[in-house]
Amino acid sequence: MTKTILNIFLFFTIMNTTFSQLDRTIVPTPKKISPETLLKLPNVEEIKLENGLRILFVENSKLPIVNSQLVIHTGSSIETQQNFGIANLTASMLDEGTKTKSSLEIADEIDYLGANFSSSASYDGIFISLQTLKENLDKAFEMYSEIIFSPSFPENDFERVKKEILTNLTQQKDRASTVASLVFNKILYKTHPYSSQVSGNENTVKSISIEDVKNFYKNYFAPNNATLIFVGDINKTEIEKLVNQFFLNWERKSVESDCPLLKKEMASTSLYIVDKPNAPQSEIRIGHVSVSRMTEDYFKLMVLQQILGSSHGRLFLNLREAKGYTYGAYANFSYRKQEGPFVASAGVRTDVTDSSVVEFLYEINRIYTELVSDEEFEMYKTSVLQRLPRQFETNGQIADYLSSIAVYDLPLNYFSSYIKNIESVTKNDILETAKKNLHPDNLSIVIVGDKSKILDGLKKLNLGNIRICDTDANILEDITK
Amino acid sequence: MKSLILFLIIITNMTTFSQLNINYEKYELPNGLQVILHKDNSVAIVSVNIWYHVASANEKQGRTGFAHLFEHLMFEGSQNVPDGMYDKIVDGSGGQNNGSTGFDNTNYWSIVPKNYLESVLWLESDRMGFLLPGITQDRLDLQRDVVKNERRQSYENQPYGMSWMKIYDALYPSGVPYNWLPIGSQEDLTAASLEDVKEFFKLYYAPNNASIVIGGDIDIEETKLFVEKYFGSIPKGRDIIRPIPQPISLTETKRFVLEDNVQLPRLYLFWHSESMYEENDAALSILSDILSSGKNSRLYKTLVYEKQIAQDVSAFQDGNALSGNFGIIATAKQDISLSEIEKIIFEEIEKVKKDGITKYEIEKAKNSIKASFIYRLQSLGGFGSRTDQLNYYNTFFGNPGRFNDDLKRYQLVTENQVKDVTNKFIDNNKMVVLSIVPKSKLDLQAK
């Protein structure tokens, strides 16, 4: 009896020993699963109203949450030197008062329902969003509609909101990374609306009146210039009921909203320094005007961006992992209706500012002149192919995708063709698209840092003209090489 | 969703309380590793989330920032995983990964397509069991540089960036946990040696000091076999002596001022309060909402909306494992004196102390809290996600499914309790006051 038990023990001991001798040098190979299987795409449906309003929705009843987003297809890119910031001001004023409720009453009502409301502008549109529990949908949506259709734009609240925006603009100057991006955009886009940030500048915001905001609202808030999005625990019948109640009588009107066309000029590489005495880091931005969202190279550039600028891309591996110059280095293309910027960026230790610029240029030139290796290419491409599932998890994420479909007029089946489009990108495409869309001789390099410590090193790089700017990109001094 | 939903959430309004039921299964390996499995096959991804019960509270003076520096080294390769391979597998799969170090715990997570689950468990187990052969002096030096850059970027070169160090240093005596921030000091980072790395790893990065949550589109039985295969043979470590709460209190109000490259003055008021889940933690949280959450909250309405002397204001109860603090931070508009801001904050606090709060206010706060509990169940992986919350509840309370219980303690708070905690904790004779003012505008500080 004892022996049997011992034998059993022995047996288990052997089992365990075999088990613990797992060969850890063997890298597990993932089972092959087609990207199509991995990606459970949300089913996008569409309703079109007589008044021109387009409705896009995805039903997702996993949690009792409903998200809604109204997209107005006019944003800050129609602004002029005189009224930069008006789209943003209009968006900010929507929940500051309606025909029946004050600013504080609106806030209370939304908070009491546990709902979240936000309203913001981008270059390409205004986005008015609501998130609510299903059980409060009717009440929350009624408030939401009142905000959209009956804003009263009270003068007092307008002055307060303006003051808040102006104070924010002042505060931004504290942050080196923000200053670097703002100066970079100004240098790239000169007088075009993309030269300004969406919230405008101190002069323009000061000069905008409540009448201007009312006019903006009157001119651009129209069903035929809008898309309404629903995502979450809501079905078609429920959507139709809400829409019939609140959106059916919205009257169509003619809307003109054209952004001035961008004249793309390629200047030769120059360097701009904004002095920040005693800064422990230099904030670097390098790039040029690039492509619009409508570019035919979109999918190729997506893979290129992954190789060059992602969080384990070449710039990151070089400047952070190999050299230890920075906490992170990245590059990306900003897609808008017109040509957005390509920008590579990092905050680097002051004493390696010039060396960091050298590495940035090395990596931009490398992808521009050399084919990527097979191993790198496969890894980065798979990464782009397979990252989609986790980007369709929350209602908010899905709503954002629907709004990009609306804003850039993409087909409803856009994501089902995504896989095919990425799969067809080749190694040669990366080199070709780099040659076509990157311009290593036409870079604007902006650095916010301690001039007294970085200027000499930067001069030695012989990169072109060096100019010293203030935080508004006004040139203070022109230093010839 | 047409697919089979195993991720279950029931919400009932029959009573005052909402019911949140998240499915999970918990067990422990003989080496002490706690394993929690959570199945949700609505998205074809898997989240692997590991918490080690160690962080800056376990550090010694002179080696501050070490737990966080160590977190960086965890991504630099281990015995069988060459440097760079972790990112190559996780990012290369289309996945995402990150880690973070706080006062009480260090966490690591990755989200990958479901077929990469075994790969991630191989990676995680190799660095849990066999990290040291991968760590060389060069790697340590390099990550030390990266962390120092992180400190420059997130603190030194940030407006108001040095505030937190000052506040925690003022609240907690030297040598006591929480006196320093997880980022540590540049000096201590320089001093960290390879020997420190080895000691720290041997003691704290053992299976008996960790819990792993695996969630998403998994097969429970297959996942259990993987866990056994990769983690089963990692030896148990020594018992760990956890830092114990120290009786700490302020005997008087301490005032500090810092000049910074900023345009607007900012006021920080801090009190010792209670740790996470302590008796008054929930009531203090509700107090913070009533003070600063929403346009019609008391401080926001007075300072930002009506008087327009502040640009923003926020109040919060921050309960950590050993102790907690309550804070109010307000940014003044240009050239507004912080004394004026402080005076008005206390006028509002006095009203709560004397007259309490309304039924409407507490209901509003509770409704928002309930909704936020549900909103944050949306993501499977990443910071603050479902798998992260399961691990939070498990690490600190040994019970991964504490969602309901957590929500319930907020729903039970009464108006009177909120009034009482204000009287008990928010004392203007025992607080830390920090003024950050623009260079050469010392006259704007709170006196």
**Residue-wise pLDDT tens digits, B319-362:** 999 999 999 999 999 999 999 999 999 999 999 999 999 999 99
Residue B142 has a pLDDT of 92
The ipTM is 0.91
Residue A266 has a pLDDT of 83
* A215, HSE (Cβ side, Cα atoms, 13 Å): 7
Q: How far apart are CA A471 and CA B193, in angstroms?
A: 42
C-beta atoms of B295 and A107 within 8 A? yes
Residue A1: pLDDT band by 50, 70, 90 thresholds? very low
Mutation target among A16, A131, A167 for the B interface, most CBs of B within 10 A: A167
Q: Is the CB of residue A423 less than 8 Å away from at least one CB of chain B?
A: no
Map out the domains of chain A as residue ranges.
Answer: 46-246, 270-479
Strands (E), A262-337: 270-275, 281-289, 326-333
* Residues facing B97 on adjacent strands: B110
Tell me the shortest Cα–Cα distance from A347 to chain B, in angstroms: 7
The Cα-based distances of B352 to A179, B306, B325, B358, B361 in angstroms read 41, 19, 19, 10, 12
CA B428, B429, B431, B434 dihedral sign is: positive
C-beta atoms of A20 and B375 within 8 A? no
Residue A262: pLDDT band by 50, 70, 90 thresholds? confident
pLDDT over 80 at A39, yes or no: no
Residue A20 has a pLDDT of 52
Tell me the shortest Cα–Cα distance from B211 to chain A, in angstroms: 21
Fold designation for A46-246: Cytochrome Bc1 Complex; Chain A, domain 1 (3.30.830)
β-pairing, B106-113 vs B45-52, is antiparallel
* Closest-CA residue to B91 (of A391, A312, A320): A312
pLDDT over 70 at B17, yes or no: no
**Range 350-379 of B in CB contact (< 8 A) with A:** 360, 363-364, 367-372, 374-375, 377-379
Mutation target among B149, B233, B300 for the A interface, most CBs of A within 10 A: B149
Q: How far apart are CA A480 and CA A371, in angstroms?
A: 36
Residue A4 has a pLDDT of 40
A16 contact partners, CB below 8 Å, separation of at least 6: none
Question: Fold match between A46-246 and A270-479?
Answer: yes
> Taking residues B196-208, what's their average pLDDT?
94
Q: How far apart are CA B255 and CA B433, in angstroms?
A: 5
C-beta atoms of A168 and B294 within 8 A? no
The mean pLDDT value of chain B amounts to 93
> Taking residues B164-173, what's their average pLDDT?
96
Residue A40 has a pLDDT of 73
- The structure tokens listed for A239 are 């959507």
> Taking residues B163-192, what's their average pLDDT?
95
Q: How far apart are CA A183 and CA A82, in angstroms?
A: 19
Residue B4 has a pLDDT of 32
Q: What would the pLDDT profile of B63-81 be if each residue is shown by its tens digit?
A: 999 999 999 999 999 999 9
Residue B219: pLDDT band by 50, 70, 90 thresholds? very high
Phi first, then psi, for residue A298 (nearest 5°) are -50, -50
pLDDT over 50 at A56, yes or no: yes
pLDDT over 90 at A387, yes or no: no
Residues written for chain A: 481
The distance of Cα B104 from the centroid of its chain, to the nearest Å, equals: 8
β-pairing, A270-275 vs B45-52, is unpaired
B387 contact partners, CB below 8 Å, separation of at least 6: B38, B47, B48, B49, B109, B213, B214, B215, B216, B380, B381
- The structure tokens listed for A265 are 């000029």
pLDDT over 60 at B2, yes or no: no
Q: How far apart are CA A196 and CA A80, in angstroms?
A: 10
User: Which of A49-58, A251-260, B216-225, B377-386 is the least confident region?
Assistant: A251-260
* Residues facing A478 on adjacent strands: A467
**SS in 3 state form for A3-54?**
HHHHHHHHHHHHHHHHHHCCCCCCCCCCCCCCHHHHCCCCCCEEEECCCCCE
A35 contact partners, CB below 8 Å, separation of at least 6: A385, A386, A388, A419, A423
Q: Tell me how crowded residue A246 is: count the other CB atoms within 10 A of its CB.
A: 17
Residue A413 has a pLDDT of 84
pLDDT over 60 at A357, yes or no: yes
C-beta atoms of A389 and B113 within 8 A? yes
Q: How far apart are CA B234 and CA A217, in angstroms?
A: 65
* Closest-CA residue to A365 (of A280, A298, A449, A438): A438
Give the DSSP per-residue string, B204-240: HSSGGGEEEEEEES--HHHHHHHHHHHHTTSPP----
From the number of C-beta atoms within 10 Å of its C-beta (0-12, 13-18, 19+), residue A160 rates as middle
From the number of C-beta atoms within 10 Å of its C-beta (0-12, 13-18, 19+), residue A47 rates as middle
pLDDT over 70 at A36, yes or no: yes
Residue B19: pLDDT band by 50, 70, 90 thresholds? low
C-beta atoms of B94 and A383 within 8 A? yes
Q: Is the CB of residue A104 less than 8 Å away from at least one CB of chain B?
A: yes
C-beta atoms of A383 and B87 within 8 A? no
**Range 15-74 of A in CB contact (< 8 A) with B:** 19-20, 22, 24-25, 27-28, 30-33, 37-40, 60-65
Share of chain A above pLDDT 90, in %: 85
pLDDT over 80 at B443, yes or no: yes
Q: Which domains does chain B have, with CATH numbers?
A: 25-231 (3.30.830.10), 254-444 (3.30.830.10)
Residues of chain A contacting residue B111, judged by C-beta atoms under 8 Å apart:
390
C-beta atoms of A114 and B116 within 8 A? no
> Taking residues A184-207, what's their average pLDDT?
96
Mutation target among A41, A66, A160, A393 for the B interface, most CBs of B within 10 A: A393
Give the DSSP per-residue string, B144-202: HHHHHHHHIIIIITSTTTTHHHHHHHHHS-TTSTTSS-TT--HHHHHH--HHHHHHHHH
Mutation target among A18, A164, A390 for the B interface, most CBs of B within 10 A: A390
Residue A391: pLDDT band by 50, 70, 90 thresholds? confident
pLDDT over 50 at B305, yes or no: yes
Residue A10 has a pLDDT of 41
Residues of chain B contacting residue A167, judged by C-beta atoms under 8 Å apart:
264, 311, 333-334
pLDDT over 70 at A8, yes or no: no
> Taking residues B195-214, what's their average pLDDT?
95
Residue B304: pLDDT band by 50, 70, 90 thresholds? very high
Residues of chain A contacting residue B150, judged by C-beta atoms under 8 Å apart:
327
* Closest-CA residue to A403 (of A106, A4, A56): A56
> Taking residues A344-356, what's their average pLDDT?
97
pLDDT over 60 at A331, yes or no: yes
Q: Tell me how many degrees the CA angle B238-B239-B245 measures, rounded to the nearest 5.
A: 140
> Taking residues B307-316, what's their average pLDDT?
98
Residues written for chain B: 447
- The structure tokens listed for A153 are 């734009």
User: Burial code of A290-322, b = ≥16 C-beta within 10 A, e = fewer?
Assistant: bbebebebbbbbbbbbbbbbbbbbbbbebbbbe
Q: Is the CB of residue A118 less than 8 Å away from at least one CB of chain B?
A: no
Of B17-21, B93-97, B142-146, B263-267, which has the strongest mean pLDDT? B263-267
Q: How far apart are CA B138 and CA A324, in angstroms?
A: 11
Cβ pair A419, A385 in contact under 8 A: yes
C-beta atoms of B364 and A111 within 8 A? yes
The Cα-based distances of A348 to A148, A210, A351, B2, B183 in angstroms read 44, 43, 8, 49, 18
Higher pLDDT, B1 or A222: A222
Q: Tell me how crowded residue A158 is: count the other CB atoms within 10 A of its CB.
A: 20
Residue A417 has a pLDDT of 85
Q: Is the CB of residue A391 less than 8 Å away from at least one CB of chain B?
A: no
The CATH number of A270-479 is 3.30.830.10
CA B391, B395, B396, B399 dihedral sign is: positive
pLDDT over 60 at B11, yes or no: no
Residue B18: pLDDT band by 50, 70, 90 thresholds? low
pLDDT over 70 at A2, yes or no: no
Residue A365 has a pLDDT of 98
Tell me the shortest Cα–Cα distance from B17 to chain A, in angstroms: 14
C-beta atoms of A22 and B363 within 8 A? no
β-pairing, A116-121 vs B106-113, is unpaired
User: Burial code of B340-377, b = ≥16 C-beta within 10 A, e = fewer?
Assistant: bbbebbeebbeebbeebbeeebbebbbbbbbbebbbeb
- The structure tokens listed for B371 are 């909704």
pLDDT over 70 at B293, yes or no: yes
Q: Tell me how crowded residue B69 is: count the other CB atoms within 10 A of its CB.
A: 27
C-beta atoms of B371 and A114 within 8 A? yes
Residue of B nearest to A34 (CA): B115
* Residues facing B212 on adjacent strands: B35, B50
* B447, HSE (Cβ side, Cα atoms, 13 Å): 4
The Cα-based distances of B95 to A272, A418, B37 in angstroms read 37, 17, 19
A173: nearest CB among B118, B263, B380 = B263
* A359, HSE (Cβ side, Cα atoms, 13 Å): 27
Q: Is the CB of residue B233 less than 8 Å away from at least one CB of chain A?
A: yes
Residue A258 has a pLDDT of 75
Q: What would the pLDDT profile of A299-330 be if each residue is shown by its tens digit?
A: 999 999 999 999 999 999 999 999 999 999 99
Q: How far apart are CA A450 and CA A275, in angstroms?
A: 5
The distance of Cα B349 from the centroid of its chain, to the nearest Å, equals: 27
**Range 332-351 of A in CB contact (< 8 A) with B:** 347-349
Residues of chain B contacting residue A19, judged by C-beta atoms under 8 Å apart:
228-229, 232-233
**Range 256-285 of B in CB contact (< 8 A) with A:** 261-264
> Taking residues B380-391, what's their average pLDDT?
96
3-state secondary structure of A257: coil
For residue B446, is it left (φ>0), alpha (ψ between -120 and 50) or beta?
A: beta
Cβ pair A315, A331 in contact under 8 A: yes
